[in-house]
Amino acid sequence: MITNFIESYAKLIVSQPDEVSISTNSIDETFTEITIKANSADIGKLIGKNGNMINALKTMANGCKAKDGVSYKIQVIAN
């Protein structure tokens, strides 16, 4: 659920949405790492000024924690 939202939201932000991909790594039952891979030119757009954009995505993920009990860590890396 949260990965689909993050992927569609990230594609709306970047200039080259076809290069955005999301991968998840479940560490255990209560912790999942979400990695957003994008073009290197779009990394700044995903992070945002003073980290505001990525912090907004992290806030959304923390909201899902209340529902399903899983903590999420979000990373942004360049292709």
Domain ranges in the chain are: 2-78
Nearest alpha-carbon partner for 6 in 47, 59, 57, 52: 57
Residue 35 near residue 25 (C-beta atoms within 8 A): yes
Q: Homologous superfamily of 2-78 in CATH?
A: K homology (KH) domain (3.30.300.20)
Q: 1-56, pLDDT tens digit by residue?
A: 888 999 999 999 999 999 999 999 999 988 999 999 999 999 999 999 999 999 99
Centre a 10 Å sphere on the Cβ of residue 28 and count the other Cβ atoms it contains. 8
Q: Residue 45 has what pLDDT?
A: 92
**How far is Cα 11 from Cα 5, in angstroms, rounded to an integer?**
10
